[in-house]
Structure 1
């Protein structure tokens, strides 16, 4: 269940990569322009995380994947009956070759084709895996209840009658068991396939896709109209409690402020010590609320029009 939520949340930014570029551009510009006034502020976690975000994120990702690979390879070798030490190099070498091949295709293929196509395909595969995980969770729960009632692990007794709860099963085939038949465990891991379809597992699978379609449809509507349906002053980010807890509304910039920020970033230079110097001619205006627009800012700066009577 937790993996399903994490994969679903991770896939949404991958689908909106083109729209996320503008947000990352603002974040990177602010990390370069906003220089602490005191030297001790350079060592604060907030400043370091903003300044070195493009290093910290890949570093943590590679470190996590490396630890995960060691744990899973070692765990598979220890728990597999009759395994030998000679079984370790094959999955490690194959994994390194596959990872290097994917990285090579991403690095050299992005210049010849659209990266958005790759992100859409990879995200679709992730969502198939996520839907399968959600369905498998419900299936294992039903299977656990049936095992408690029958007094044993019925799914390992075969594919015929008595291996499943017929009162809650929608379909059943006497083959293709991912726990007994070789090869079908791959479909079970990737797509959540089971030779017995319980009502709860099938409902979870369809509900997952229904919720995902609704969320993505709302995001598409918001990107085109600027608000959610039937609510002109409401956006999806406003439904996130963290938006109000962290008071992100005050940190939002108008279009005029973004132009000032980018103009300030273009005038960045470095001194002999490698420190950033920014020209003082470009200063960000005071923070305004998210409801104000650039036209309002320009209108406030114009002098009021005074109507005088002709002599």
Structure 2
């Protein structure tokens, strides 16, 4: 139904029935694929495959959020009430670069909308959005390194891996003593 909400806001209402049926078919195919893969694929393989995709999505969303905040601030600064995505001009003080091609706002320029939706691509990034993207990846790398070091320490000390519920229970019981 996500497709239906997006098309209902921006397109002719006559497209809604077609979108509804495409949405149902896509949902069925994705659900059936997960069902069939769930019976044959190991969970480890699924999570190893899905984790990088989710990390790229989160980096793009974080970067786009910072970019939207900066666009909103610029719109208030210049005193406009138009949609911030339709602003033709950007704050040159905050802009890293501005490309005249590769715009995710133009439907005829290839797959840039796809890259915008999944990875947060924009043809006019700001310093804040680039810094947010880089900080996201620094945080992810830090967390993964800490997890790996902790896991190696656990193996070196000969401790068995415990589940999350057991870890919380041990922590709570340990604090009550």
What is aligned with 2:120? 192
Counterpart-to-counterpart distance in 1, 2:64 and 2:33 = 32
Q: Higher strand share goes to which structure? A: 1
Q: 1:171 aligns with which of 88, 93, 97?
A: 97
User: Residue 204 in 1 paired to residue 132 in 2?
Assistant: yes
SS at match of 2:125: strand
- 1:82-161 matches, cutoff 5 A: 82-84=12-14, 87-152=15-80, 153=82, 156=86, 158=88
Counterpart-to-counterpart distance in 1, 2:36 and 2:106 = 42
Kindly state the Cα deviation for residue 206 of structure 1 after the two structures are TM-superposed: 0.7
Counterpart-to-counterpart distance in 2, 1:150 and 1:79 = 27
Change (3 A) 1:73 1:155: closer
Change (3 A) 1:181 1:150: farther
Change (3 A) 1:103 1:181: closer
Change (3 A) 1:83 1:96: closer
Q: Is the 8 A contact 1:187 1:193 kept in 2?
A: yes
Counterpart-to-counterpart distance in 2, 1:113 and 1:77 = 34
Counterpart-to-counterpart distance in 2, 1:216 and 1:105 = 29
If asked which structure has higher relative contact order (CA below 8 Å, sep 6+), I would say 2
- 1:232-251 matches, cutoff 5 A: 248-250=171-173
Kindly state the Cα deviation for residue 155 of structure 1 after the two structures are TM-superposed: 5.3
Q: Is the 8 A contact 2:60 2:120 kept in 1?
A: yes
Counterpart-to-counterpart distance in 1, 2:30 and 2:46 = 11
Structure 2: state its 5+ residue gaps. Answer: 156-163
SS at match of 2:150: helix
Counterpart-to-counterpart distance in 1, 2:74 and 2:43 = 47
Larger Rg, first or second structure (1 or 2) = 1
- 1:1-311 matches, cutoff 5 A: 69=1, 72=2, 75-84=5-14, 87-152=15-80, 153=82, 156=86, 158=88, 163-182=89-108, 183-226=111-154, 248-250=171-173, 289=174
CA-atom RMSD, angstroms?
A: 3.0
Q: Is the 8 A contact 1:136 1:192 kept in 2?
A: yes
Counterpart-to-counterpart distance in 2, 1:105 and 1:73 = 19
Counterpart-to-counterpart distance in 1, 2:37 and 2:74 = 50
Tell me the number of residue pairs that the alignment of Structure 1 and Structure 2 aligns.
160
Change (3 A) 1:184 1:193: same
Normalised by the length of structure 1, the TM-score is 0.45
Kindly state the Cα deviation for residue 187 of structure 1 after the two structures are TM-superposed: 1.7
Structure 1: state its 5+ residue gaps. Answer: 1-68, 228-236, 238-242, 251-288, 291-311
Counterpart-to-counterpart distance in 2, 1:173 and 1:119 = 36
